[in-house]
Every structure is written in C-alpha cells, then in structure tokens.
Amino acid sequence: MASGSAGSRVSCGRDLSCVPEVADTLAAVAKLGFDFLCMPLFHPRFRREYELDPAKSRPGAQTRSDLLLCGRDWNTLIVGKLSPWIETDSELTTERRNSEAALVQELSFCAYLGLPAFMIPLRGPHCANLARILLNHIHTGHHSCMFWIRVPLLAPEDTREDLIENESFKQMDDGSNDEKTWAWWHSFRTLCDYNKRICLAIEIGEDLPSDTLIDKWLGEPIKAAILPTSIFLTNKKGFPVLSKAHQRIIFRLFKLEAQFIFTGENRHNEKDLRSYLQYLEYLNQNRPAVLMVLGAGRGPLVNASLRAAKQAKRKLRVYAVEKNPNAVVT
C-alpha cells in the first residue's frame, strides 16, 4: 500500500463486504488497477458465540486459512475490516461480552496475518469499551498494524434526505449537528491517548458539512478517504464525475497523501470501476501546481512561470514574497 505524493499515482483500494474467494478476488481487483483490497477477516454473518452453550464450544476453524495468500500479499495488499455485528459498547451484557471476545479474536488474527491496517467503524458517541480493548491490544501486542477508524463526515440521521423527510431542514443550515461525528472521533482518540497508530478513515457522503468543519477534519491524521460510488454524478458522456465541492476536498486530500477506497456498486456505463479510478487519476494529474518565489523583486521569475504554465496549458498557483514594498507597484 503505497501512499501518493505530488505528481505520483494515487493509491486506491476496493472495499467489499464479503469475499468468497480471496485469491481470485484480489487478482480481479488488481487487474482493474486497485492497489489493495479492504475485506472482513471473518464472514460478516458468522456471529461467533463465546457466552452461551453449546455454541461457544463449537469445534473447527472460525475463518479461512491464511495459506490462501502468501505472506507478502497479506502484509501489503489486504486491509482487514471488523465484523459489522460487533457492538462492544452495547447496553446488553451478553451482547457486549460476546462482542468483546470477538473483537479480541479479530485483532489477534489481524496481528497473526501481519496486515498493514485494520479498519474499525465508529457508529456513535459511546465508544469507551472499544477504545479500552483496542488500546490494550496495542500496548500488549508485538505488531506494527495501523488502525483506521472509519467515521462519516455527517451522521446518517443528519443527511439531507432524512432531514427533508422529517421536516427539520433548518438544523442543516445552522450547522448545529455538523460536528456530531467529529465529536465521536475526538472522544475516541482522546480515550486512546492520541496513540499514533490510530488514524482516521473519513467517509465522504453526498452531503458535506460546512467549510469550517471540513478544515477541522483535514487537520486530523487522515490516512484514507472512503468514496461511495453514490456520490458520483454522471456527465454528458455517461462517465462518473464529482461536484465542485467534492473536488475541492479531493484536491486537499491529495496534499495529505491520503489513500482512497471505493465502496459500492458500479453506477455508470462500464461494467467495472475502472472509470472511477481514471477520473480520480485525472483529478490528481490536473490539480494546480504550487510555485513559491521568495524574493520576487520586479517579478521576472513570476512572469516567466506564468508564461510557461500558459504554454503548457497547466494551472499554476503562484506565491510571490518580496520584502521591498515598492516592488508591489511593479
């Protein structure tokens, strides 16, 4: 999993909710141009039981063999995902204890496989137990796995469609609910003592928060951005594009060298997601270059740079710094 840098290729992954054949799926994903695969380590509907008999003593393996892929593939091409049914902060004692045991099992198996990252969704403000278990795993284990905390920019109940249905659209205008999910993340990382191995994977939805809150999000340790195919619009030729507001976020994520993860089904002409990758690469190659001229003087370097950018048909953002105030007139 390579991180992108200015002018280099963007690192993109494919998110799948269920992977029956891991080797074949990984090969198919790589053929489309993706750099890594996000997948659950255990079947998402396989609810292991650790509290009640006789299910808690069920014999046999809990998931697939690690020999289906070579060690190098596990170490570089797979990002694990937590099973969706795990609720470590549930109010039900049996469910909470069962989820705790399942979380410990999945974290341990992730360390055994040597995965580069493991994705954990944050669904609400109650996350103290989850933070406790994860931090204990980090402190007691001998592994280097990063933990990507998946957080949406807006809570599902605050999206535009839901607000229209419930006739409470005014709350969207004043931004009173915008910071809800940021508060979830802030509470979680505080409970985890700002551990450097706990990073952020933001999920960008169709609706976006205010520009002020976006600035706040982009100041966090973002390692990945999740892009649902539902946020893409369709241009006149039938290909996927993003709105101007979404493009501005993507350009800023390029600067942070974030990796991008595509989730959801194809919603456009082609049968695969190749057009989405091509569009993101197009944005990366066409983002404005930044030039800083320190000691611009009368501006010969600035003028030459602007002429060169015009000839090359490239966008250029120039910062000219000059201590002599008289040069501004020139």
pLDDT tens track for 224-254: 999 999 999 988 888 899 999 999 999 999 9
Residue by residue, DSSP assigns 214-233 as HHHHTTS-EEEEEEEGGG-E
What are the tens digits of pLDDT across the range 265-289? 888 776 678 999 999 999 988 877 8
Task: Determine the Cα–Cα distance for residues 42 and 36; give it in Å rounded to an integer.
Answer: 18
Q: Is the pLDDT of residue 147 over 90?
A: yes
Closest listed residue to residue 253, CA positions, set 209, 303, 203, 301: 203
What are the tens digits of pLDDT across the range 151-196? 999 988 776 555 444 444 444 444 456 789 999 999 999 999 999 9
Between 49-63, 162-176, 186-200, 297-311, the lowest mean confidence (pLDDT) is in: 162-176
Peptide bond into 152 cis (omega under 30): no
| CATH code linked to domain 12-287 | 3.20.20.150
Task: Determine the Cα–Cα distance for residues 267 and 232; give it in Å rounded to an integer.
Answer: 9
Write down the pLDDT at residue 122: 96
Peptide bond into 288 cis (omega under 30): no
Write down the pLDDT at residue 44: 84
- Listed in order, strand segments (DSSP E) in 33-93 are 36-40, 78-81
Q: Where are the domains of the chain?
A: 12-287, 289-330
Write down the pLDDT at residue 39: 95
pTM summary value: 0.83
Kind and range of the H or E run holding 293: strand 289-294
Q: Which two tokens stand for residue 302?
A: 């600035």
Task: Determine the Cα–Cα distance for residues 127 and 147; give it in Å rounded to an integer.
Answer: 15
Average of per-residue pLDDT values in the chain = 87
Task: Determine the Cα–Cα distance for residues 220 and 146; give it in Å rounded to an integer.
Answer: 15
Residues 6+ apart with CB under 8 A from 169: 160, 163
Q: Are 122 and 149 in contact (CB under 8 A)?
A: yes
* Residue that the structure tokens 């954990």 belong to: 120
- pLDDT band, very low/low/confident/very high, at 324 (cuts 50, 70, 90): confident
Task: Determine the Cα–Cα distance for residues 254 and 249; give it in Å rounded to an integer.
Answer: 9
Tell how strand 198-203 and strand 222-228 pair up: parallel
> How many Cβ atoms sit within 10 Å of the Cβ of residue 328?
10
* Residue that the structure tokens 């999910």 belong to: 181
> How many Cβ atoms sit within 10 Å of the Cβ of residue 144?
11
Q: Which two tokens stand for residue 159?
A: 């999206």
Write down the pLDDT at residue 163: 47
- pLDDT band, very low/low/confident/very high, at 54 (cuts 50, 70, 90): low
